[in-house]
Structure formats: C-alpha cells, structure tokens
A = this chain, B = another copy of it.
Amino acid sequence: MTLVASSRRSFLRSAAVAGAVATAGFAQQSERRPNEENEVQLSQIHGPSEQKESTPGPFLPEDRRVGFAIVGLGRLSLNQILPAFGSSEYSKPVALVSGDRAKAAKIAAQYGINGSAIYGYANYEELAKNPEVKAIYIVLPNGMHEEYVVRGAKTGKHILCEKPMATSSKEAEHMITACKQAKVKLMIAYRQQYEPHNRALRQLVTEGKLGELRGFVSSNSQQEGDPAQWRLKRSLSGGGCLPDVGLYCLNAARFLSGEEPSEVMAQTWQPKDDLRFVEVEASCSFSLRFPSGYTATCTTSYDVHKSQFLRMEGTSAWAEMSPAFAYHGNKLKWSHLDGEHENEIAPQIEEKDQFALEMDHFAECILEGIEPKTPGEEGLRDHRVMEAIYESARTGKRVKL
C-alpha cells in the first residue's frame, strides 16, 4: 500500500486526481514543476526491499523564489515560520512588519533580510512599493486579521493568513470579498493539511482502509500561563481555547473526512475564579453530526496539560494520530484485522517542516497561477461551525447548520 507520496510535489499531483479531496477545496494542479531544469536525481543503490531515497528539491534559486513579508513578530513567526524558510523550496523572507523596530532589526540581521525592508504597522501599505514582496503572511492576533488582510489586499500582494481566519464569519466574508476585489489570492494557514502524517491518514480514508467512516474523537488542549497574553482577551482572540487550539480538531474532522457537519451540540466552561478566563472559555467540548452519520466528538482546553490526539473510527479499522496537531513528532498508527489477529500498523513517515510545506504551496500557487487548497472559504466554514458551537453552549440546545 502506498500511503503518501515521497515528495511534496507528487502529493500535490495525487491530490489533484483524488475526487474526494476536491470537496475539501483542493484545486487542480499543473504538471510542470518549478526548477525542473535543475533537478538532479541519483540512482538507487539499495535493494528493492528498502525504502527509496529521494533528493530534496529541486530548490528554486533565491532570485526566482517568492518573497514573503512577515507581518507580526510574535512567537509563531520567530519560533516556527522564519526558521521554516530554511527548508523551503520556493519561498524566502524579504520583509518584516512589526511594531518593534529594534526587534525587527535583530531578526532581519539573522535571516538576511534587508534593513530597508522593515515596516511598521502605520506604513504597512508601503509594502506595495517593494517589488521583492509577492506574498504577505499575516501572523497577528486574530482580532487584527481582518484589517491587515483587507489593507494588505489593497497593496496587490497575495495574502496568507494564520488561522483562525478572523473572529467571526462576518469578518471572514469581508476578507474573502476584499481579496476577490483586489484580485489577489487568499489562503488560510491550515498547516496540518500540508503535514505528511495527516496526508497519509487522509489517504487511508480515501482508499477505504478504514471501511466507511463513522467516528472522529479528538482533543487539542494545553495549559495557558500568563493571564496578560492576547489569546485571553476576547477583542484580540475572538474566543478562548476553541478558535485557537480546538479549531484543529474541528478542521481535521472536516478535512480528513471530506464531509461538512449538519448539527452541533456543545458545552463550554469558564471558571469564575481564574484570572486567565475572565473574558474567554477555559474549555469546550462539542459533538458534530454529519449527514452520513459520521460523528465528531471533540474537546479542547486551555487549562489542561498539553494533550493532542485524534482517532478516526471506520467500520473495519481505526486510525490514530498521537500526538496530532504538533509542530514536531506527530505519529500515525492504524489497526485492522489481518487474518486471525488485529494488527496495529505504524507507517514510519519522515517529519517535514509543516510551515515550509504550507508556504511552498502558496508560493507554487502564485508561481503557477492556481488556487490554494485552503482558501478563505475554508476558514469561513470553520467560523460558521464555531458560531454554532458557541450558540449551542449558550442555549443548551442542539443547533442545525
């Protein structure tokens, strides 16, 4: 059985032909490959029973890569996104937008970004004049996404926006419209949809290895500390654990099945005596019913030791990622009856930088004029479900979508 393509490129190609995948927003991909003229592939020296080696790349030369402006220099930018350019094939960082010029200068020095390409929030629109910038990556607090996507779209640059897309479906709709009007691409940074273990699991599902899909069980939870952080302020975050980490469960329940939910039941918990949870929920559990009978049962918390997993239950097998949703160290296992024994099978899948894969997908969309697999509409769908979750928790009633 072939779980996932060995290179990200062939993953894109196979995605293009998988009809079921298209329902999750996967666009048609071209067959040409950037920089094929510089590809070097070596012969296989190992026996045919060994895993094939592949040569990474071919990497696009610096001067042909898609230049990104990174907007916001918080922990995600510094700890994950900027380092990811080092294993990118088609992308490079060329500009920084930050409210802290001194910090931005240090970062620019580390990543070889020209000191003249540091911008503040006030002169953000000057990105329009920087021809090196082809894409803007919004890595700001959720409550600022709408403004910076809309302002960014007006510069004529393509927009990659972190998840959650916004703080409401109304904002999300506005962002989609603004990008359409400006004729720029809009992609939401659902990194897990580009991550190899998730791709392999999606393939198990589409190949029918689990039988018919019936259940999805998941938790994505962690222990928040500092009560002063923006994630705990409603105006900046739009909510507590649900839009931040719970969103991964929700999106995976949709993405991995290719189905859209029709009913929601949910509960939230907001303790009265905890300074961290004055404005937002500490935890949330929700159950999604899909038309086929497939059901997702999810829980998320900001007051639990980091706990990240998902399990998919089909009529003839189950599959599990534990951890799931992690930046590093995701593991996949599935289990079915093989002859007389239940066999647990763990495909050994090489870790790839998810942010590099995600940015390279957007770069490729720009280079080849195709639509992203996770466009604004993908983010909008999640916002509509999250609004139903909050409504059900508030009313204590089942909510139809």
Contacts and interface: CB of A to CB of B under 8 A. Distances in A.
Contact of A297 (B224, B289, B298, B316): B298
Given A223-B46, A225-B47, A61 B348 contact: no
In the complex this chain forms, how many copies of it are found? 4
A4 B58 contact: no
Residue of A49, A211, A231, A295 ringed by the most chain B CB atoms within 10 A: A49
Contact of A313 (B45, B304, B351): B304
A78 interface: yes
A335 B326 CA distance: 15
A103 interface: yes
A311 B306 CA distance: 12
A75 interface: yes
Interface stretch (A23-31, A35-43, A132-140, A149-157): A35-43
Size class of the contact patch on chain A:
35 or more
B295 A285 contact: yes
A305 interface: yes
Contact of A1 (B62, B338, B348): B338
Interface in A270-292: 271, 282-283, 285, 287, 289
A401 interface: no
A314 B318 contact: no
B295 A45 contact: no
Nearest to A338: B1
Contact of A329 (B283, B285, B293, B348): B348
Given A46-B223, A55-B79, A342 B306 contact: yes
B269 A4 contact: no
A260 to B, nearest CB: 17
A229 B45 contact: yes
A214 B303 contact: yes
A219 B223 contact: no
A284 to B, nearest CB: 9
Interface in A323-382: 328-329, 335-351
Interface stretch (A104-112, A120-128, A175-183, A184-192): A104-112
Nearest to A263: B267
Given A86-B87, A345-B343, A348-B341, A55 B78 contact: yes
Contacts of A320: 322
Contact of A226 (B45, B211, B313): B45
A87 to B, nearest CB: 5
A85 to B, nearest CB: 8
Contact of A305 (B211, B222, B343): B211
Residue of A110, A282, A301, A303 ringed by the most chain B CB atoms within 10 A: A110
9 contacts: A42-B78, A50-B225, A62-B112, A215-B283, A217-B299, A341-B347, A343-B347, A351-B351, A396-B397
Interface of A: 1-6, 35, 37-40, 42-62, 73-75, 78-79, 83, 85-88, 103, 106-107, 109-112, 200, 210-211, 214-215, 217, 219, 221-226, 229, 231, 263, 265-267, 269, 271, 282-283, 285, 287, 289, 293, 295, 297-299, 301, 303-307, 309, 311, 313-318, 320, 322, 328-329, 335-351, 396-398
Given A56-B79, A344-B347, 8 more contacts: A5-B340, A40-B103, A50-B305, A61-B110, A214-B283, A217-B219, A285-B297, A341-B348
